[in-house]
Structure 1
Amino acid sequence: MESQGSKLFRFPIPLPALPSSAHVRAAGVYLAGALFSLGFWFFLDSAIYSKNFNASFVHVRFVDWIPGICSVFGIIVINSIDKAKLSTDASYSYGDGGVAWKARVVLFFGFALLAGGFAGSIVVLILKYIIPEYSWPTLYFGISNVIANGLLMLSCVVLWVSQNVEDEYSYSLSL
């Protein structure tokens, strides 16, 4: 029997059984893929609508594609970094310096690309669509660009977290 001093709550609270980390990892990867696809669907929908069905003279041009390209490059850079390399000890050296600070710098550039893509989509929305005061069908092109880059950013975060979930059966060997 536990003493009253070691219990947090007066009444016992049953804890739900958590799914295994392999299932969480798989679900996270699938969710990230769905968010990535949905983000590109928003942008491609507006680009196709702009090209084929838009009656105004404003269309989706290369300027609208630049934030998405930056976001995709940011996703590639961020998810190519191994999380274990970020916390390695500085005493281990790789060439002329440690691996950890190099991984952190590359990760920073990846997040800068991702944030720059999202911020760029907001700038394109404001400068190209809101300031000239276009009506709804044309304004959708800028809004869909922001939604697409937001979903790409969310996809990257979900994929980063799910890929770096520790397995209950994983272990590391250190010499």
Structure 2
Amino acid sequence: MALPRSSYDPRRVCINPFPNLNLDKYRRTVGVYLAGALFGIANWVFLDAAIYSAHARVPWGGDPPVHVTFVDWVPGICSLLGYIIIHLIEKDRIRGDGGFGDSRAVWRARLFLFIGFAFMAGGLAGSVAVLVLKYIYSDYDEMFRYYGYANVIQNGLLMLSDVILWMAQTSSSEYEYNLTL
């Protein structure tokens, strides 16, 4: 049995702590740029698959057995709608700050937030369902499964981008002053 390290804290969950990235005043800017990069990569991956599908040729001749159709676009559209809905909501309204006075406004904002996240989760689940039912279950070649993988990657990166942007927008910036009397 090994002896515990001298810096061991029994309240910790992980043995190895997460790295401490001290970005201080650039935290918000880095988060916004990272979320934008992930958003761009997500949509680029799916558009690459759609363009590749439109110009696909099979080595053995003839037409390809499968193409990217509207069914493949639906999960990405749902995730994009959820992304837009989530970022249309004012963050202070969700917390009940800002003296809005109407408790129903806070409830409606939280309901709207839930609907946005439900759209995003539905998009991710739909992309996995399309991958399994259309590409894997039908036993297409690996070159055609890329269309389904790209769909799942797009929706996963959109969700990750949304979380990063949400955290970046809720953090305080160097230009924000909180004055309390």
- Range of TM-score over shorter length: 0.7 to 0.9
Letter in 2 for 1:61: T
Q: Distance in 2 between matches of 1:36 and 1:92?
A: 32
* Unpaired segments ≥5 residues, structure 1: 1-8, 10-15
Kindly tell me the number of residue pairs found equivalent between the two proteins.
Answer: 157
Cα deviation, residue 93, structure 1: 3.5
* Unpaired segments ≥5 residues, structure 2: 1-6, 8-19, 59-63
Query: Which of the residues 140, 146, 150 maps onto 2:152?
Result: 146
CA RMSD for the aligned pairs? Answer: 2.1
TM-score (norm 1): 0.81
Q: Note closer, same or farther for the CA distance 1:110–1:17 as it changes in structure 2 (3 Å cut).
A: closer
Letter in 1 for 2:173: D
**Which residue is 2:56 aligned to?**
53
**Which residue is 2:44 aligned to?**
41
Deviations 1:126-159 (A, max 9, x none): 1101111111110110011001110111111111
Q: Distance in 1 between matches of 2:180 and 2:122?
A: 38
Cα deviation, residue 92, structure 1: 4.9
Question: Which secondary structure does the structure 1 equivalent of 2:101 belong to?
Answer: coil
**Which residue is 1:100 aligned to?**
106
**Which residue is 1:84 aligned to?**
92
Letter in 2 for 1:20: D
Query: Which of the residues 68, 73, 87 maps onto 1:65?
Result: 73
Cα deviation, residue 19, structure 1: 2.8
Q: Distance in 2 between matches of 1:48 and 1:17?
A: 39
Cα deviation, residue 100, structure 1: 1.2
Percent sequence identity is 50
Q: Distance in 1 between matches of 2:55 and 2:95?
A: 50
Query: Which of the residues 15, 25, 28 maps onto 1:25?
Result: 28
Q: Note closer, same or farther for the CA distance 1:174–1:101 as it changes in structure 2 (3 Å cut).
A: farther
Letter in 2 for 1:18: N
Deviations 1:9-52 (A, max 9, x none): 7xxxxxx893333x111111110011011111110111011001
Cα deviation, residue 78, structure 1: 0.7
Letter in 2 for 1:150: G
Letter in 2 for 1:153: M
Q: Distance in 1 between matches of 2:118 and 2:27?
A: 28
**Which residue is 1:6 aligned to?**
none
